[in-house]
Structure 1
Amino acid sequence: MIRSLGVISILVLAACGGGRSGPGEPSVARFAATTGPIASACMGSGRKGVNRATCGCVQMAADQTLTGADQRRGASFFGDPERAHAVRLSDTPQDDAFWERWTEFGRAAEQLCR
């Protein structure tokens, strides 16, 4: 169960991983200078294939879909997947609303960084 809940964090990284783009598509490399809590957590995650362009792309998606507070909260998931698990299973309206926004962020990162 924990593994499946950590998937969103991993999905976000994997979605932005390749950095390849076709004609007329944006290159992930253009996001290399983008910084923020998600990019910092991404760079510090130690996952294979992580680089500034990938993490910058993920941060750009976060900037488009999450508040600063949501970004700081979500950044903690990169180092502690148990936190994501707890939020996902929580029954509070605040956690449910956050999880919806976090899931939308994952979708946005997948679209933006593909």
Structure 2
Amino acid sequence: MKKRFAVAAFALLASCGASAGVVEKACLNSDRAQSNRQLCGCIQQVADMTLDGREQRQAAKFFAEPHQAQEIRQSDRPNHEVFWKKYRHFGATAESYCS
């Protein structure tokens, strides 16, 4: 009976969209020593609250190419400035929420 309940609970969670988001996947695939499912999942939750889908895809690229973050931060393009402000808010929120 317990086994059947556990299988049913797992199936319910899987059907509720318990799949990893783009930021979580990038975090898990990064070579950072602290990367683990719990931390990366938390960071994804914050990304879902603070960044739209396009912004999440851009932020996810920073895990593989950190220099790209520097390029966007120093860019004179107005859309990069808007993104960078949101990204800084995301980072500060993730740091306080996930630590």
TM over 0.5: yes
Which consecutive unaligned segments of at least 5 residues does structure 1 have? 1-32
Q: Which residue of structure 1 aligns with residue 80 of structure 2?
A: 95
Q: Which residue of structure 1 aligns with residue 39 of structure 2?
A: 54
Q: Distance in 2 between matches of 1:66 and 1:35?
A: 15
Q: Distance in 2 between matches of 1:61 and 1:78?
A: 16
Q: Which residue of structure 2 aligns with residue 105 of structure 1?
A: 90
Which consecutive unaligned segments of at least 5 residues does structure 2 have? 1-17
Matched-pair identity in %: 43
Q: Which has the higher contact order (CA 8 A, sep 6+)?
A: 1
How big is the alpha-carbon RMSD for the aligned residues of Structure 1 and Structure 2? 1.1
CA displacement, residues 19-42 of structure 1 (integer Å, 9 cap, x when unaligned): xxxxxxxxxxxxxx5621110000
TM-score by length of 2: 0.78
Greater helix fraction, Structure 1 or Structure 2? 2
Q: Distance in 1 between matches of 2:34 and 2:49?
A: 24
